[in-house]
Amino acid sequence: MPARPRKEKALDLLRQLREAGVSKEELLRAIQDLDAEPQHLIPKDIFPSDLGVIEAVVKFLHEQRGMRFADIARLTKRSAKSVWLSYRNAKSKHEGPITSRESPCIPLAIFSDDRGALEALAIHLHDTGLRYADIARILGRDARVIWSSVQRGRRK
């Protein structure tokens, strides 16, 4: 297929999405989700209530995926020292491995912006169409905490 008609089709689709009210951020996030490598995805049911979000992510990636702390730090745009500290704290709070069932996955890229981990995760899940109560149930948090995290994260 020649490049010009393909580009015109893509532009037509983008216009339709804009008319449907899809923001640029949502579109870019969807493109990032498509491009995400499987090891850069984490199941959304790995967040036990006794761990913080970043602690659960680091513990899961290190123990289940065998990733090094330096690699986790690079993917989440955090220092290797803070990643190691999160793992140490998670290990002391939560004995044993974090188990996950087959569930929809979350791209690690959402943790690489200036938002806090809970804010980034709550915004991502809310943008996928989940209600605050559903997000709270998945994360083992109160719905009011989720609501305030989303509001605070959107202001950043």
What CATH number corresponds to the domain at position 95? 1.10.10
User: Amino acid identity, residue 61?
Assistant: L
What's this model's pTM, rounded to 2 decimal places?
0.71
Looking only at Cα atoms, what is the longest distance across the chain?
58
Residue 71 lies in a domain: yes
Residue 147 lies in a domain: yes
Residue 23 lies in a domain: no
Q: Which DSSP state fits 103?
A: -
Residue corresponding to tokens 């986790």: 72
- Of the pLDDT bands very low, low, confident and very high (cuts 50, 70, 90), residue 39 is low
pLDDT at 52 over 80: yes
Percent of the chain residues past pLDDT 70, beyond the cut = 90
- Of the pLDDT bands very low, low, confident and very high (cuts 50, 70, 90), residue 26 is confident
pLDDT at 37 over 80: no
Count the domains in the chain.
2
Q: pLDDT tens for residues 70-120?
A: 999 998 999 999 999 999 999 999 888 888 776 778 888 898 888 899 999
Predicted local distance difference test score (pLDDT) of residue 24: 77
Predicted local distance difference test score (pLDDT) of residue 67: 93
Residue 20 lies in a domain: no
Looking at every residue in the chain, the average pLDDT score rounds to 86
Residues 71 and 88 in one domain: yes
Residues 49 and 99 in one domain: yes
The domain boundary, picked from 105, 126, 142, lies at: 105
Q: CA 2, CA 140: separation in Å to the nearest integer?
A: 50
Answer whether 44's CB lies under 8 Å from 138's CB. yes
Domain with 155, as residue range(s), is 113-156
Other beta carbons within 10 angstroms of residue 88's beta carbon come to 13
